Amino acid sequence: MLHMNELNLKNKKVLIRVDFNVPIVNNKIMSDMRIQASIPTIQLALKNHAKVIVMSHLGRPKEGKYQKQFSLLPIFQYLKKIFNKTKIYFSNNLNKIQINSGELLILENVRFNIGEKNNDISLSQKYASLCDIFVMDAFGSAHRKESSTFGIGMFTKIACAGPLLISEIKKLSIVLKNPERPMISIVGGSKISTKFKLIQSLAKLSDTVIVGGGIANTFLAIDYNIGKSLYEPKFIDMAKKIKHQYNIIIPIDSRVGTNFSTKSSAIVKKPFEIHNNEEIMDLGDKSIENMTKIIKKAKTILWNGPVGVFEFPKFSIGTKKLATSIANSKAFSIAGGGETISVINMFNIQNKISYISTGGGAFLEFIEKNTLSSIHMLEISKKKYNLKNN
């Protein structure tokens, strides 16, 4: 892959694809982590006197239609404060782009454009025509084969990787290629089907995998009736195989409730004690003790997903104890995924995790496949560039 800092950006039209897909409620940005992570890249391009154009998606709007709640305007307002010494513009018109060196233009949500999701050729060509250099820096969207993350690279003169994308790949590769051992992975959350393949890849890579949430319930369902608990019957066979082959730590007790609500009672039970009207919503004390002991001994920790319903105080104990234990560990710790970032913010441990990835789905897919669509695009583009320039 070509790197942005290998190229001369002066007076060039540089189009940077970032991931500004952040939670926004009533025009208020609820987490600016992804925006903050992209700022050094934009600053670098401005410092090099490029004509900087920035594009991103936000949410999953219907294409071809403006929908206010998915507009990037609140992000533009946020950026105006940060780049207060720079001429900064906002545009929703790909046909009228006028910009000078050292200036910054933010484009409206790419997912309003017809063809974006389907990696449409004419839209990709349109994006490519806007720039001399395309910088792919949206690690969080690099698993998407869309016009602004993939197609554009097939038509642009030069496509290169931005600093954030490179840093994410480097940090994740430490864990994937040469982790200090013992390496443990902690996987929780409710998206069971997206994560089961990940468990297998992680189990191969790690000395121990700790499971929580719906993933753990699916392992428990091999041997027990777990009442109303969330689990995925179609993955039970796979869970059996993984459990047999690898070192998987499954909860030995859980906090159960009778209704999915913050008011539900929380009782610690062993798996065989769970009644039909009960559901697992967090780890029990013995499991927490056992899991935190394992975390303490780890030299590398990879973490994705809460181990309970952390939004309900009575069921946040397991997630809090494990998160604190990861934060206090001297191991190299890496965390990623939307819910994981919410947990990190909730317990205020941002500075105690060695690396927090800006990726959710991209983080998981990179662990599983060791590559992503946009990385593939950048590799093809580099080959084309070498052919032309050698």
- Smallest CA-to-CA distance from 356 within 372, 375, 342, 371 is with 342
Residue 59 beta carbon to ligand 3PG: minimum distance, rounded to whole angstroms: 7
**Least distance between ligand 3PG and beta carbon 53 (Å):** 19
Among 52, 110, 140, 212, binds ligand 3PG (CB under 6 A): 140
337: annotated binding-site residue?
A: yes
Strand partners, 135: 16, 160
- Residue 195 in marked binding region: yes
What residues contact residue 257 under an 8 Å CB cut-off, 6+ apart?
Answer: 264, 265, 266, 267, 278, 279, 281, 314, 315
Distance CA 364, CA 166 (A): 17
Q: Is 387 left (phi over 0), alpha (psi -120 to 50) or beta?
A: alpha
In whole angstroms, what separates CA 121 from the centre of its chain? 27
Pairing of strands 254-257, 51-55: unpaired
387 is in an annotated binding site: no
Q: Which stretch binds ligand 3PG (CB under 6 A): 137-145, 187-195, 272-280, 347-355?
A: 137-145
Q: Which of 175, 153, 4, 148 is nearest to 63 (CA)?
A: 148
The region of 75-83, 138-146, 166-174, 175-183 touching ligand 3PG under the rule CB under 6 A is 138-146
Q: How far is the CB of 66 from ligand 3PG (least distance, A)?
A: 18
CA distance 197 to 174: 21
Rule CB under 6 A: which of 51-90 touch ligand 3PG? 60
Spatial separation of the C-alpha atoms in residues 138 and 161, rounded to whole Å? 9
255 annotated as ligand-binding: no
Q: Which stretch binds ligand 3PG (CB under 6 A): 36-44, 65-73, 140-148, 252-260?
A: 140-148
**Local structure of 201: helix, strand or coil:** helix
Q: Alpha-carbon distance 330 to 146, whole Å?
A: 39
Convert residues 211-250 into a mask of x (bound to ligand 3PG by CB under 6 A) and - (unbound).
Answer: ----------------------------------------
- With both helix axes pointing from N to C terminus, report the angle between 192-205 and 236-245 in degrees, rounded to the nearest 10: 10
Tell the smallest beta-carbon distance from residue 58 to ligand 3PG (Å).
8
Measured from the CB atom, the residue of 110 and 288 that comes closer to ligand 3PG is 110
DSSP codes of every residue in 73-106: HHHHHHHHHHTTTS-EEEES-TT-----TT-EEE
Question: In the complex with ligand 3PG, which residue's Cβ is closer, 46 or 341?
Answer: 341
Q: How far apart are CA 48 and CA 351, in angstroms?
A: 30
Nearest approach in angstroms of CB 357 to ligand 3PG is 11
Looking at residues 328 to 367 of the shown chain, list those that interact with ligand 3PG (rule: CB under 6 A): 360-361
- Does residue 19 bind ligand 3PG (CB under 6 A)? yes
Question: Considering only residues 21-40, where is the footprint of ligand 3PG by CB under 6 A?
Answer: 21
Using CB under 6 A, which residues numbered 144 to 203 contact ligand 3PG?
144
Rounded CA separation 133/125 (Å) = 13
Q: Least distance from C-beta 57 to ligand 3PG, angstroms?
A: 7
Q: Which is nearer to ligand 3PG, 141 or 218 (CB)?
A: 141
Residue positions in the annotated binding site? 19-21, 34, 57-60, 111, 144, 195, 311, 337-340
Point out which residues bind ligand 3PG (CB under 6 A): 19, 21, 60, 140-141, 144, 360-361
Residue positions in the annotated binding site for (2R)-3-phosphoglycerate? 34, 111, 144
Residue positions in the annotated binding site for substrate? 19-21, 34, 57-60, 111, 144
